[in-house]
Amino acid sequence: MPTVLTHAAPALTLGLALGAKVIPPRLLVAGVALSMAPDLDSIGFFMGVPYESLWGHRGISHSTAAMALAAAAGLALGPWLRAGRMVSAFFLFLAVASHVVLDAATSGGLGPAALWPFEDGRHFLSWRPIRVAPMSPSAMFSDWGRAVVFSELKWVWLPFTAISLLILFFRKALTRNNRRVVRFRRLAP
């Protein structure tokens, strides 16, 4: 897995870039939480659940079913999250999907059971540039840990920050343009 904080990067950066009108704070917090939540299955890893089991690390919590569950929660809780039901469903779906895709782009471990319940296989992307993080937190304070942090900055934080800044730039440009149109209409006879 990438480290748990890095799993929050897509939801956090894209949510902030889209702004509070589209992704209100409650929805943003829910998205960030759900983008990290699949790795709660690591608890099972330390309790002896086999990695390759569907209930093991990167099993059903990293699946199409988990994404669908997140979307259903978004549909149900949209008003409480202060957002439209469809927006909530889509954002929470993306939060879990981003977790699965990032795990599938790591260099080690088993791939996520991304297609469960349609099939049980573990899947990786054909391109896996992200260094896999150690399961033991103490191992992060080593050369391996440093390589993981560098890899995550390069392949996750940097691209998502860049995409978010682009979205922010276009949002500001669009707002400026809309203000100009309103001003022009007011001036028109």
CA-to-CA distance for 112 and 96, rounded, in angstroms? 12
If one asks whether residue 1 binds Zn ion (CB under 5 A), the answer comes out as yes
Query: Please, which of residues 76-105 interact with Zn ion by CB under 5 A?
Result: 103
CA-to-CA distance for 62 and 100, rounded, in angstroms? 6
Torsion over CA of 144, 146, 147 and 152, rounded to 10 degrees? 120
Least Å distance, CB 38 to Zn ion, is: 5
Least Å distance, CB 107 to Zn ion, is: 14
Single out the segment in contact with Zn ion by CB under 5 A; choices: 1-9, 14-22, 82-90, 161-169.
1-9
Which residue, 38 or 78, has its beta carbon nearer to Zn ion? 38
Query: Please, which of residues 101-140 interact with Zn ion by CB under 5 A?
Result: 103
Single out the segment in contact with Zn ion by CB under 5 A; choices: 39-47, 145-153, 166-174, 181-189.
39-47
Copy the structure tokens of residue 48.
């002896």
Least Å distance, CB 21 to Zn ion, is: 31
Which residue, 15 or 38, has its beta carbon nearer to Zn ion? 38
CA-to-CA distance for 62 and 114, rounded, in angstroms? 6
Copy the structure tokens of residue 142.
């080593």
3-state secondary structure of 5: helix
Torsion over CA of 90, 108, 4 and 122, rounded to 10 degrees? 40
Which residue, 49 or 75, has its beta carbon nearer to Zn ion? 49
CA-to-CA distance for 88 and 144, rounded, in angstroms? 37
Which of 27, 32, 35, 39 is close enough to bind Zn ion by CB under 5 A?
Answer: 39
Which residue, 103 or 152, has its beta carbon nearer to Zn ion? 103
Q: Which positions touch Zn ion (CB under 5 A)?
A: 1, 38-39, 103
